[in-house]
Structure 1
Amino acid sequence: MNYKTVYASPLGTIILRSDGTYLTGLWFKGSRDSAKHTGVFAEEDLPIFAQTREWLDQYFRGREPEGTVPYRMEGLTPFRRQVMEILERIPYGEVTTYQAIAQEIARQRGIEKMSAQAVGGAVGWNPICILVPCHRVVGTNGSLTGYGGGMANKCRLLELEGHDLRRFTIPKEEHGR
């Protein structure tokens, strides 16, 4: 059985999904990420949702949350698993690049090169935004590209973590955030 509930964040409504034990999805309502989370959900307030709301409350108060929320990702290929493991290690308040992740995976696999575009596809697949911090991944040249939760939310999440957005390039269509 799949369950869902909502969380009222300062950035808008966030949907939480669970299998009853683990968090299995976290996304902004109405965002491009919504398409990843289809199916029938029962609305129930589960302990995992209370734990996730507490973590998000800390995060949106501008603090690095204590502890972790138990989550499970379904449909992980070995490549996606590698990318998600790297995302999980990006510290609060820091960013990395798609290229840096590609280089780390190439190093781990003992190969010369890995595609940053392939990494971008795996990062974009992430079903649990914020907790698995895909918003902390930027282009090598500092461009803020690709965020299923919306570029305005990516900008606001980075600002919340203390980043000065003037150091990044924001796509023109997103300046009016």
Structure 2
Amino acid sequence: MPRPEIYVSTDVETDGPIPGPHSMLSFASAAYGSDKKLLGTFSANLCTLPGAGGDDSAMAWWATQPQAWAACRTEQQDPAVAMVAYRDWLERLPGRPVFVGYPAAFDFMFVYWYLIRFTGASPFSHSALDLKSYAMALLGMPFRETVKRNMPRAWFDGSPHSHVALDDAIEQGALFCAMLAANPQTRP
């Protein structure tokens, strides 16, 4: 019998637009079953990469988010240690991990780069599921119009969006599970 898919909703906080020249400051994942059961979470605040620096526009945005900034700069870990722990956590999940992000292109780029750089492998392989693209397909809307304010209110459970990685990973994971339940092709 094939192992079930585990939907790993992941959010990152960074100091710039791409990994390498900029750092992933914090990341978190919330692992969900298709039944919306939260199976576990993982989060880490990371030390910045040697030689990397904050992008001016990203740092200007962070200046408007002092609580989120403080949250992602406490208890920093060496990325080499944190990414090995993360890979091990993913491999212990009771199914095949599927990366879920919003926007997946941004979050996955950082997580994948850090996994390859610090562990040599990605349990997600080379793929990620993007919530906005999934919503576009479900709603039959143009991509640029597929934004949270145009999504059904029933998909949202009131979880906060605080720019603290774990809060945001849980929020978007619950959103994805609501979308999955709304899809007539995936209902039990």
TM superposition score normalised by structure 2:
0.26
TM superposition score normalised by structure 1:
0.27
Q: Which has the higher contact order (CA 8 A, sep 6+)?
A: 2
Greater strand proportion: 2
